[in-house]
């Protein structure tokens, strides 16, 4: 059996590829990327070229594939920074179905991608992670490196961010396991933490005492817009406003599917300490 991993050089896909390879004598792993020469994936992985923006380029990569992980977005530019830099990978669903793929695992499916997945005759599973811990690097990385501080305009808005390795572990388990047809799995990290508690956890993980500073909404938006652009900033702010009055719920899904507890923010920070130094 061959499993195709799309988005194979990204934060999730690379971990999925590694997880499949670590299973040893298992299925053949094929990795899709626009630039195979720069992929730097484990030995034994069949690295193939293709572009989710152009489903017609996927035909060779899909030959003989029984199971596929589909990343939800395709990049319009080499280094995406704004929401407009991304497009849906919905066109790849029909290409996979035509090629005879039997099982499809999709992350964060919504809109036209969700509709395409649910219309398909494949055995599909959707994995919906909540806030990524990786966002802390984009949001707080610079201020922690330069000032030893992190700021938020919503100090009473808690979150339960999730480690990218836990997302990949769930996806890997679903790709290899049975009993996941038409399941929709919502994923969170193991702790509900306010921004100040998150900053404290990051400090503990990197071995450095950090300061937390509350901003007013105008200051907070300006800081986010400067880093992410208006669309992404406003999208994130809407979540923060919602969580201030209706906090997200910590879910046991990661442990239920993988058999191990979800990783803490402190552990994630230790894994990414170099990004904060």
For residue range 4-27, what is the model confidence (pLDDT) as tens digits?
999 999 999 999 999 999 987 667
If you search the block for the tokens 């280094």, which residue do you land on? 79
Using an 8 Å Cβ cutoff, are 165 and 15 in contact? yes
- pTM comes to 0.93
The answer as to whether 25 is a domain residue is: yes
Q: Which residues are within 8 A (CB) of 269 and not within 5 positions of it... i.e. 6 or more apart?
A: 136, 201, 202, 203, 204, 205, 206, 276
Residues 6 and 108 in one domain: yes
- Please compute, for residue 184, the number of CA atoms within 13 A of its CA located in the half-sphere on the CB side: 7
Burial call 39-65: b when 16+ CB within 10 Å, e when fewer:
bebeeebebbebebbebebbeebbeeb
The answer as to whether 181 is a domain residue is: no
Residues 143 and 46 in one domain: no
Q: What is the pLDDT of residue 185?
A: 98
Q: Which of 102, 93, 122 is nearest to 6 (CA)?
A: 93
The answer as to whether 141 is a domain residue is: yes
Separation of alpha carbons 104 and 81, rounded Å:
28
Residues 59 and 15 in one domain: yes
- For residue 216, give its domain range: 135-161+190-248+263-276
pLDDT in tens, 67-90: 999 999 877 766 666 667 777 888
Residues 124 and 201 in one domain: no
The answer as to whether 182 is a domain residue is: no
Residues 116 and 240 in one domain: no
The answer as to whether 167 is a domain residue is: no
Residues 64 and 105 in one domain: yes
Residues 16 and 85 in one domain: yes
What is the average pLDDT value for the chain, to the nearest integer?
93
Using an 8 Å Cβ cutoff, are 67 and 27 in contact? yes
pLDDT in tens, 97-142: 999 999 999 999 999 999 999 999 999 999 999 999 999 998 899 9
Domain end residue (candidates: 129, 149, 169):
129
The CATH number of the domain where 85 resides is what?
3.40.50.720
Separation of alpha carbons 225 and 208, rounded Å:
27
Inform me whether the pLDDT recorded for 270 exceeds 80.
yes
Using an 8 Å Cβ cutoff, are 199 and 136 in contact? no
Residues 151 and 270 in one domain: yes
Residues 23 and 96 in one domain: yes
The answer as to whether 48 is a domain residue is: yes
The answer as to whether 183 is a domain residue is: no
pLDDT in tens, 218-250: 998 998 888 777 888 888 899 889 998 999 999
Residues 272 and 147 in one domain: yes
The CATH number of the domain where 140 resides is what?
3.90.25.10
pLDDT in tens, 41-54: 999 999 999 999 88
The answer as to whether 184 is a domain residue is: no
If you search the block for the tokens 């009055």, which residue do you land on? 245
Residues 122 and 152 in one domain: no
Q: How far is CA 68 from CA 5, 78, 182, in A?
A: 6, 23, 15
Using an 8 Å Cβ cutoff, are 231 and 85 in contact? no
Cα angle for residues 23, 25, 31 (degrees, 5° grid):
65
Residues 139 and 122 in one domain: no
Domain end residue (candidates: 113, 129, 145):
129
How many structural domains compose the chain?
2
């Amino acid at each position: 059996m061959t499993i195709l991993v799309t988005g194979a050089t990204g934060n999730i896909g690379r971990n999925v590829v590694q997880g499949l390879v670590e299973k040893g004598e298992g299925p053949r792993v094929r990795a899709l990327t626009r630039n195979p020469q720069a992929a730097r994936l484990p030995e034994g992985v069949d690295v193939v070229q293709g572009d989710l923006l152009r489903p017609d380029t996927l035909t060779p990569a899909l030959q003989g594939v029984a199971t596929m992980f589909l990343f939800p977005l395709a990049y319009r530019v080499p280094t995406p920074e704004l929401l407009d830099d991304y497009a849906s990978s919905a066109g790849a669903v029909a290409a996979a179905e035509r090629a005879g793929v039997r099982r499809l695992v999709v992350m964060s499916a919504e809109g036209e991608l969700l509709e395409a997945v649910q219309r398909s005759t494949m055995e599909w599973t959707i994995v919906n992670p909540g806030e990524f811990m990786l966002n802390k690097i984009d949001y707080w990385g610079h201020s922690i490196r330069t000032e030893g501080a992190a700021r938020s305009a919503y100090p009473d808005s808690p979150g339960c961010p999730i480690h990218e390795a836990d997302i990949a572990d769930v996806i890997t388990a679903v790709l290899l396991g049975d009993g996941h047809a038409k399941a929709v799995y919502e994923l969170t990290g193991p702790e509900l933490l306010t921004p100040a508690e998150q900053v404290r956890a990051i400090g503990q993980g990197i071995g450095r005492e950090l300061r937390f500073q509350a901003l007013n909404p105008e200051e907070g938006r300006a800081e986010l817009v400067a880093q992410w652009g208006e669309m992404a900033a406003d999208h994130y702010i809407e979540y923060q406003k919602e969580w201030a009055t209706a906090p997200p719920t910590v879910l046991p899904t990661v442990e239920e599917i993988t058999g191990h507890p979800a990783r803490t923010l402190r552990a994630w920070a230790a894994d990414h300490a170099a990004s904060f130094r």
